[in-house]
Structure 1
């Protein structure tokens, strides 16, 4: 681990560093005395993540986490060894991402005992909402009331200062006016909304408070820590205020801390940005994030299947690499947020992105926009379930299933750790009633269920939910049993024509797995020869010249030597 003093000096001046160093050293010493759970030291093909809300399922008279635990035991345990619990703390908006108290459990979900019960059955990823806190939090309330202990906890800004260079992920203003208890008015930095107040990490006391939160999560059993919206943590007017060097140094400090206090804990950075900036959070491969979100994947897979053309996906995949075997990608297709568009800017021409957005809107998707430096707005996120994004409203369920499983075959076979969102696992469609109820576009993909209703629907033979759940179950199980799907196994991208997305996974034992996806609604002939085992069917097959794939068919073929 880097010397703590050296790390702090990369963030603060010497005076501020010396002011907090003894306290930080003491915190780590105390953490070392606690018997924290032994963490897994690496990842393998068995690691597949389920992304879900803690209150995703309800049963009368029970905490929602108890209902989730029952669903996990009955439906998910054999598929997912890690559960990403989206923020389960008390909150005031954004379905959990406006945290009122970092160290409490939302009573609807349960209490820390319920979290612990789930953590005995699976590894848990905690959300560390480190960039901002709720306007209803005690911290911000104390600040508004003039409590000197909370001076400079938030970024006050003169409205005359030029902030035109600041990267805006939303169309809302960067500053929000608040009235303090003494009647004075202040403009405070709010990157995402007026209810999400950015923390001022230039104040070293804020860093200390957030390190307390991080150590608390480790004590409560977090084996994965997701750093939400981490790219925005450091502010310097006159710059973009995203991905600044001191933000990277804070992430590195967080890694230093988890490796000292709970070695094996995985740090994951959530940065919904173009690939170059996203992978910068790997650092040198051993000093920053262990995993970064693979943000280009969701829109790229959608774009490719929408067009029946895998050329862009193939070209992008050729350039995928991580800095060493101690880092990997966190792959996903759907999440609690929409499908981000910024990560494919620079990969896909802007006019084609806008055409994709238009076609999705015509089929019922909703769109959120961001403010550009020149005052114009651009779409930054499509709000839709991944099921409805891949399909048209008039498509039949047979076609929906084919496209959906083909997309998830890509997710499960690329290098990295795959994560499946709960709505995808359940085969969910757009929840327009949720949007009407909350007024939020993102609610379209955040439907909650009672245990009774969802179990009935999952068992309904021939239903879309049943077909998707069964189909995903089958391919996830195959992935978990094959060593060539280890996140670090090599990949060699193949060129089998524009309608295909194909690659090989290889290891040092000269084993080879050939994966081919037909992305089009017509049959596809691909050049291939050899003896193979089809992992998806168990069949041994001999191919002499070519293989023919039906529309949206995919094959996982292991070479027999």
Structure 2
């Protein structure tokens, strides 16, 4: 399989032969090193915490050490898996402009700190494989015309017609740099002039990135997130997104890690419409094991803010993993904003724009993308999820109700749930940070002094305490309920547009009232165990749900 993929990606026989021999050597070398047993399949116990390695800090201590203390005190009983966002030296974008792929940012600690954390939790690393920092040794070497870095990046004649290339940002696709000989280079930069796209058409680039992938496996990554991977391969005259060569490279990554460390899971981060997104699962055995479920955050948000679940219901009826060996990485909030692109084609554009305008009025910020005709469209909404669901004038009681309602959907829909650290902390919009950085995304990337946060989390009655305690209890309940195994069946109930209901494994009924009015839902009469209240319900008539109430009921 590996040999076939190499020859499919690179038609030049010399390139293919070079790669084949080099990859075989690496696989043999790493097989001998990787003896650690990995969990071979996921189950309902698996829940991710998404966080930065420097999320918590205290004076004169490496932040990974501080994180471990906070994890053991507040999160270890709830989250068996930790997704550390990029923890490498970087120059911008809070870690996603990587200077050195194989070094831990010294402000966070070192690889020994990662190993210590790995004893308490399974870990997910970010593999920022599409681009790297303009301040990296690789790019500096390229500009210095060092032979080793020749063709590592893409120098493009600015007169080339690149109008078909998909643009996720409003920044120029080509950025000007001057090399050591004074020659101006127009370098391909999909995301920013500090994020330089790698040239995977050069087989030496692919081999070097395979080295990085295997290094992460060796350092203890059970899960590897392929950041912005849809843009990996460039081809003039195409959109340069989702190209066949990109899928083949991911298949090659999968084949290699399956050989070296079976059980390692690849997750593709492709913030695109659902059909394109699930294409990265391949045939169910040969590509990524998981894809981000990007439509979920905006669909749940839209349903709660409009009290209309019709779009959510219609979409969810088609959400089934294609095989038992694939799943969805479900989330509501992340380090980025709430993407609008994944719901284009699901929700009418006028309604998307109305949602954006409504949220902007309530304090959200908006990032835009450039369309092929030069016009702009909202690309993502920047806000914490708790603030997105409610208005600024709302009382905390209502804020918490809506927030927990949304997370009931996250924890019960088919797939594996991931909770962003700002969510479990009840994080609010961080406008002060936006003023400091000038970046909209900073609004939900606040970092916390550990001692002060501890006091706030333990303060009974505070918003943080309510959110932390209630969400923790809900996650722990999910982890003990076998019906919520990521691959058990899911059926969406036919209800009114104000109610979202589903059944998992034909035994647990989950009902959500997405409105501010009481709703009646019909279920078959009989005895049900209310999993949330731990009592029995003998139903002879409709279930009445109060505003924003949800229930988990197991039929006895």
TM over 0.5: yes
**Aligned with 1:531: secondary structure?**
strand
Work out whether 1:540 is the aligned partner of 2:539: no
Q: Distance in 1 between matches of 2:353 and 2:8?
A: 41
Q: Any conservation in 1 of the 2:34–2:261 contact (CA below 8 Å)?
A: no
Task: Single out whichever of 540-549 and 12-21 deviates more from structure 2.
Answer: 12-21
Question: Within 5 A, what are the aligned runs for 1:104-123?
Answer: 104-123=103-122
Alpha-carbon distance, 1:36 to partner: 3.7
Q: Distance in 1 between matches of 2:485 and 2:19?
A: 41
Question: Within 5 A, what are the aligned runs for 1:180-191?
Answer: 180-191=179-190
Match of 2:14 in 1: 15
TM-score by length of 2: 0.99
Alpha-carbon distance, 1:20 to partner: 1.8
Q: Distance in 1 between matches of 2:69 and 2:38?
A: 24
Alpha-carbon distance, 1:353 to partner: 0.2
Q: Distance in 2 between matches of 1:17 and 1:530?
A: 65
Match of 2:89 in 1: 90
Question: Within 5 A, what are the aligned runs for 1:449-460?
Answer: 449-460=448-459
Q: Distance in 2 between matches of 1:8 and 1:236?
A: 18
Q: How big is each residue's C-alpha offset from its partner over 1:62-99, in whole Å with a ceiling of 9 and x where there is no partner?
A: 11001110111111011111000000000000000000
Match of 1:526 in 2: 521
Q: Any conservation in 2 of the 1:225–1:268 contact (CA below 8 Å)?
A: yes
Match of 1:130 in 2: 129
Question: Within 5 A, what are the aligned runs for 1:438-457?
Answer: 438-457=437-456
What count of residue pairs does the alignment treat as equivalent? Answer: 554
Match of 1:6 in 2: 4
Q: Distance in 2 between matches of 1:10 and 1:392?
A: 53
Q: Distance in 2 between matches of 1:428 and 1:10?
A: 47
Question: Within 5 A, what are the aligned runs for 1:194-273?
Answer: 194-273=193-272
**Aligned with 2:521: secondary structure?**
strand
Alpha-carbon distance, 1:159 to partner: 0.8
Q: Distance in 2 between matches of 1:459 and 1:260?
A: 46
Question: Within 5 A, what are the aligned runs for 1:287-366?
Answer: 287-366=286-365
Q: Distance in 2 between matches of 1:142 and 1:530?
A: 71
Q: Distance in 2 between matches of 1:162 and 1:35?
A: 46
Alpha-carbon distance, 1:61 to partner: 1.4
Match of 1:512 in 2: 507
**Aligned with 1:45: secondary structure?**
coil
Q: Distance in 2 between matches of 1:365 and 1:418?
A: 25
Match of 1:370 in 2: 369
Q: Distance in 1 between matches of 2:400 and 2:18?
A: 59
Alpha-carbon distance, 1:481 to partner: 0.5
Match of 1:140 in 2: 139
Q: How big is each residue's C-alpha offset from its partner over 1:113-156, in whole Å with a ceiling of 9 and x where there is no partner?
A: 00000000000000000000000000000000010110000011
Alpha-carbon distance, 1:530 to partner: 2.0
**Aligned with 1:10: secondary structure?**
helix
Alpha-carbon distance, 1:5 to partner: 1.5
**Aligned with 2:221: secondary structure?**
coil
Match of 2:467 in 1: 468
**Aligned with 1:83: secondary structure?**
strand
Work out whether 1:550 is the aligned partner of 2:546: yes
Q: Distance in 1 between matches of 2:34 and 2:466?
A: 44
RMSD: 0.7
Unpaired runs of 5+ in structure 1?
none
Work out whether 1:482 is the aligned partner of 2:478: no
Q: Any conservation in 2 of the 1:36–1:218 contact (CA below 8 Å)?
A: no
Q: Distance in 1 between matches of 2:528 and 2:65?
A: 45
Q: How big is each residue's C-alpha offset from its partner over 1:426-479, in whole Å with a ceiling of 9 and x where there is no partner?
A: 001000000001110000000000111110110111111000001101110110
TM-score by length of 1: 0.98
Q: Distance in 2 between matches of 1:501 and 1:34?
A: 48
**Aligned with 2:120: secondary structure?**
coil
Match of 2:172 in 1: 173
Q: Distance in 2 between matches of 1:35 and 1:83?
A: 21
Greater than 4 Å deviation, 4+ residue runs: none
Match of 1:281 in 2: 280
Q: Distance in 1 between matches of 2:342 and 2:36?
A: 36
Q: Any conservation in 1 of the 2:34–2:260 contact (CA below 8 Å)?
A: no
